[in-house]
Amino acid sequence: MKRKMILPIMAAASLVFSPFAGQIASAESADKILEGTNGREIVIHKPDDISSAKIDELVNHIKKGIEEDRVGNHKLGLNKNVSESVYDNAIYDYTIIAEDYVYKYEEAPDKAPELTIEKPDVKYLTEGQNDRINTLAYNIGDGIGGRQNIVKNGSYLSTLLRLPLDSQVGEETAAYNYSGFSSGAYEADMGLVYDSSVGLGLAEKGWKPTMVVKKGKVGSPAKLIADYADVQGANAYLPNSDVNLYIWYNDGGKVRLKINGTATCSNQSCSSSKDTPLISIMETNDSLGLNSVDQWKLLSTVVSTDDRGKNKATYSSIKVDGASVPSSAFSAPLTDFANIKRDGNNTVTITVKGSNY
């Protein structure tokens, strides 16, 4: 199969396939009552080896993060297409990704907050131990799509992402619309993955947050720093809707993703099928201490064989540190069975159509 121009980045995204086989070892609360930012007692699900001190540390960090986000959202300059009322009565999903555990916290309207700690299946995080990861990560032939690089100094990138209609997606193995960055040996893919089994009765379709951070280049051994795509459970962002996407390469040393928009349910379990504002925050547990970013990126991709599949993403109001990205910062687009259009209003539209469309 021919070599692809954009697959090194798509391949990184394709690492996100059920990496966590291990579930909750036990369900128990910390020794003292802990409350969320809404004043309700937190329900805690954790393995036996997680101490109360660790729970306290996590809860304090997450609550501080949510409170700072509520206060500081104006500083980020929310795009006008997604109302600031998203912060009123919204779901907060906060996920911290480590090599040993994934810490998931959800604070939903009229519901007790939940903190769930899952232990990953180590074989998914160890190089050479899983054929699926090896094939998708390092085989340059698996996928199609388009990539727009942006060379601009700054601490974070923000953009308004218009998610496609279901009719515009042919996911094959998987479909992704995402941003991210390159920084030296590090590569980060941060955005959304399509899921055709969400909502009430798992009968709907939608988009879930996903984040992959790794050290090393495709085609050679790489260390997977963080990898997760199961934040919302049965919940997901609505197709054909706008979401705000924020990417930090060094937020207090950590790689951080924030997405806000509208979800199809009012909580992870989808006990209520009601469109609800959803704010998702994902970050690495450890500080990577990245000093600069080589380039930012915007992509729409499909992981597939035989050049099949379709997808679409429209990125508008593209900013670095809150300032519109100038035309000179956009590199020549990279495409494979894709078309990229950029207009004078700072909008990039990526349309992917495989050989079967």
- Euclidean distance between CA atoms 296 and 180, whole angstroms: 6
Is residue 189 a contact partner of residue 7, using CB atoms and an 8 Å limit?
Answer: no
Give the contacts of 338 (CB within 8 A, at least 6 positions apart).
144, 145, 146, 300, 350, 351, 352, 353
Quote the Cα angle for 53-54-56, to 5°: 65
Q: Which two tokens stand for residue 302?
A: 């499909």
Looking at residue 32, its pLDDT comes to 72
E-assigned strands of the chain?
A: 43-45, 91-97, 102-107, 114-118, 144-150, 156-162, 174-183, 186-198, 204-215, 223-228, 242-251, 254-263, 276-284, 295-303, 310-320, 323-324, 334-336, 338-342, 348-353
Which of these, 128, 120, 78, 86, lies nearest to 103 by C-alpha position? Answer: 120
Q: Which two tokens stand for residue 247?
A: 């990417």
Beta carbons within 10 angstroms of residue 165's beta carbon? 9
Looking at residue 222, its pLDDT comes to 65
Q: How do 295-303 and 174-183 pair as beta strands?
A: antiparallel
Looking at residue 170, its pLDDT comes to 96
- Euclidean distance between CA atoms 152 and 156, whole angstroms: 10
- Burial-class residue 166 by CB neighbours within 10 Å (0-12, 13-18, 19+): middle
Which of these, 269, 245, 267, lies nearest to 258 by C-alpha position? Answer: 245
Put the strands of the sheet holding 223-228 in their side by side order: 223-228, 204-215, 186-198, 174-183, 295-303, 144-150, 334-336
Q: Taking the chain (357 residues) in consecutive chunks of 10 residues, what is each chunk's mean pLDDT?
A: 40 30 36 85 91 93 91 55 60 90 90 87 37 31 88 96 98 94 94 93 93 76 66 86 96 95 91 91 93 96 93 97 95 96 94 95
Q: How do 223-228 and 242-251 pair as beta strands?
A: unpaired
> φ, ψ for residue 87 (rounded to 5)?
-85, -10
Looking at residue 112, its pLDDT comes to 93
Q: Which two tokens stand for residue 328?
A: 């000179």
Looking at residue 7, its pLDDT comes to 41
User: What are the Cα distances from residue 152, in Å, to 35, 51, 229, 323, 324?
Assistant: 41, 43, 28, 11, 11
